[in-house]
Amino acid sequence: MIDETDTQRLAERGSNRSQRPTSQAFREFIAGNWEEREPVLPDRSPAAAPAAARRKRIGLLFRGDRLVVPAGQLVTRSNDTDYRFRPHSAFAHLTGLGADQEPDAVLLLEPLADAPADGPTHEAVLHIRPAAGKDTEEFYADARYGELWVGVRPTLAEVEARTGIRCAHLDTLPDAVAKDAGQVTIRVVPGADAAVTALVQRVREEVGATTSTEDDDALAEALSEMRLTKDDHEIGELRMAIAATAAGFDDLIRSFPRATAHPRGERVLEGAFGARAREDGNGLGYETIAAAGDHANTLHWIANDGPVRPGQLVLVDAGVEVDSLYTADITRTLPVSGRFTDAQREVYQAVLDACEAALGKAREKGARFRDVHAAAMEVIAQRLEAWGMLPVSAAESLAPEGQYHRRWMVHGTSHHLGLDVHDCAQARRELYLDAELRPGMVFTIEPGLYFRADDLAVPPRFRGIGVRIEDDVLVTGDGAERLSEEIPRTVADVEAWVQRLLPPPDGQEAGAR
């Protein structure tokens, strides 16, 4: 029964589990006797200069408009606990801030009056929540932002020194957004921060501005398309992410013996990779797929709660996200015992041949993004025809009205990669799928074959085998570079890789295989 005399609001009841001192004497006591922080400004971030160049590019596209780019809010995981913060990718791209930094922050690109044709079009102002004074309740009582709860927050000067962007208190954002409203178009990145979007909408309504979302969608589209080609700094970050991912795969293979002895061995593999991701980077770029046996035929298998048995293949799709938030995306299909069976090798080689055909196409001058997928599918269809699995010829299956081979590979072969694992998702079709490949583009090549155990259209020897091989590729001025070249991928190299990292059998010297 509800006690009608209880007037405590529902939102306040989370504090019922503990008592918080409220006396003035306590407030004065906790505010005193703290050592003063020495004002040592950090060095300018290596990401600051490339971020400034990106801001200039977006400003040229929206000359005279006020651009509002939020970092986003903390997201509740359960009750009063939050997920680790990750800023919106557009914010990270334009500020150079990554990792768990600056929730609620907003980058404002303020148009400059009479901006010269060849000069800056906007002034960047970063609105943040700075460190609270020790004489404030936030310091000791705010579990989301208080220094005693989440650590020391930077000052405005420190963030300004690191980013090269003028900083202002978050409290000044409403006035900055509303300045000269009605005389300037205000655009906000949609979906980044509901509170900031609502603020912009209120300002628009107060001045009778058109409330169409087209202005905001155009900004999101441009920010996404700007990331279709990566600068040198971004490519360097992606190389770091791939190197960390390679180390994570090594750790995962070393955990095979423990995985085969555990009832949820897939979780053992997931955990081994995840530990490396946190040690060497910000964390995972996406949820790890560690799929043993028939689980590999579920494309987004992230439950990872099954056993890992000797003789099986395990498909691992995983990537480390480094502190700058750039992520790798690599898939390897590994023989748990160190050797492929004849049937496993046959399927694996078919997928590997499709990978090589796709990379070869990417290296051709004038190739388009869609051509990479087509090259891989040609190999897949031909191999399925040779195995007697298609109801028509490979050529007929490859025709638009056919596509029978897609029963065993329903996903695309490639996607752009960068701050998001599926980067540039708001780009227009003509600049993505239909685009000619340009230097600086980074994307995956990841064909696969997925033969479910219950698929009667598959020869019995192949049922339950799932294989995907995925590499990260950079388009260069003279072709394309496989950034993940050092992670073994051929049948012989994968077998040698697994055997090298597995402990030797009992009674056998290491390296005597």
Task: Compute the distance between CA of residue 469 and CA of residue 210 in angstroms, rounded to an integer.
Answer: 49
pLDDT score for 268: 98
Q: Which residue bears the tokens 């007037």?
A: 7
Domains in the chain, ordered, with CATH? Answer: 23-226 (3.40.350.10), 232-501 (3.90.230.10)
pLDDT means per 10 residues in the chain (513 residues)? 63 72 91 89 96 97 96 93 95 94 95 84 96 90 91 93 97 96 93 96 88 87 98 98 98 98 98 98 98 98 98 98 98 98 98 98 98 98 98 98 98 98 97 97 98 98 98 97 98 98 70 43
Which pair of tokens denotes residue 255? 């955990």
What's residue 507's pLDDT? 47
12/25 Cα distance (integer angstroms): 24
Contact 421/329 with Cβ under 8 angstroms? yes
- Cα–Cα distance for residue pair 282/323, rounded to 1 Å: 5
| Overall size of the chain counted in residues | 513
**Chain-centroid distance, C-alpha 492:** 31
Q: Supply the pLDDT for residue 8.
A: 77
How far is Cα 381 from Cα 199, in angstroms, rounded to an integer? 53
Beta strand 313-318 pairing with 283-284: unpaired
The structure's pTM equals 0.94
What angle (nearest 5°) sits at the alpha carbon of residue 447, between those of residues 441 and 451? 160
Q: Two tokens at 202?
A: 């209120």
- Max CA-CA distance within the chain? 85
3-state secondary structure 133-172: CCCCHHHHHCCCCCHHHHCCCCCHHHHHHHHCCEEEEHHH
DSSP 463: T
